[in-house]
Chain A
Amino acid sequence: NAGVTQTPKFRVLKTGQSMTLLCAQDMNHEYMYWYRQDPGMGLRLIHYSVGEGTTAKGEVPDGYNVSRLKKQNFLLGLESAAPSQTSVYFCASSQTGGFISEQYFGPGTRLTVT
């Protein structure tokens, strides 16, 4: 099993360009998440999904959109990139449960917006 995979691993964008980050998991997890990580700020939740066809906003959703058309995939889109979106992006997934269960993270995408 590959676990959680992310593509691409690195990307450089110019201000105003758009792109889509792809996250895929092969563990049949219901929940999927997109985080951004900036120095000194830990992991901040952008959007999340509790099942196929559902999405919800997290802590910092502005400037991002997501889609969960298939259970195994969770896409993060930037419609018009800004330098403030320079960050490392992590996708994660978890199984359902009464308590929120452990999250499995992908390797990350390092995005630079110039």
Chain B
Amino acid sequence: GQQVMQIPQYQHVQEGEDFTTYCNSSTTLSNIQWYKQRPGGHPVFLIQLVKSGEVKKQKRLTFQFGEAKKNSSLHITATQTTDVGTYFCAGPTRSNDYKLSFGAGTTVTVRA
């Protein structure tokens, strides 16, 4: 089964509002990656977090890695229509393994 779980599965957001999506793992992760997939498109890498408690920002997107390295979050401020898509988190199946385990994703729709 999947190693990483994401919640919520769906997020309907009013344009201009903020929202957060969460990623949880049953085991400690050496690192975590986030991808975005636009409708009809392919996953595109957004960011990788490695350090405990790490916080990284990309414009309106803020990514955080938990202190125990078992969870992560993506917070989007002032949501825009360009934020529509599915956001996936992914972690290695074992430390230094070659494989990623992807969460089921959070699909975001935006009401104008």
Majority secondary structure, B binding face = loop
Q: Which residues of B contact A (CB under 8 A)?
A: 2, 9, 30-31, 33, 35, 41-45, 48, 50, 88, 90, 92, 96-105
Chain A residue numbers with a CB within 8 Å of B100 are: 45, 100, 103
Q: Is the CB of B104 within 8 A of A40?
A: yes
Majority secondary structure, A binding face = loop
Q: Is the CB of A107 within 8 A of B92?
A: no
- Can you list the 10 inter-chain pairs with the closest CB atoms, starting with the nearest? A102-B45, A42-B104, A43-B102, A105-B42, A42-B102, A105-B43, A99-B31, A100-B92, A42-B105, A108-B42
Within the assembled complex, what's the spacing in Å between the Cα atoms of A50 and B99?
Answer: 10
Q: Is the CB of B2 within 8 A of A42?
A: yes
Total interface residues in chain A, CB < 8 Å: 26
Chain B residue numbers with a CB within 8 Å of A43 are: 43, 88, 90, 102
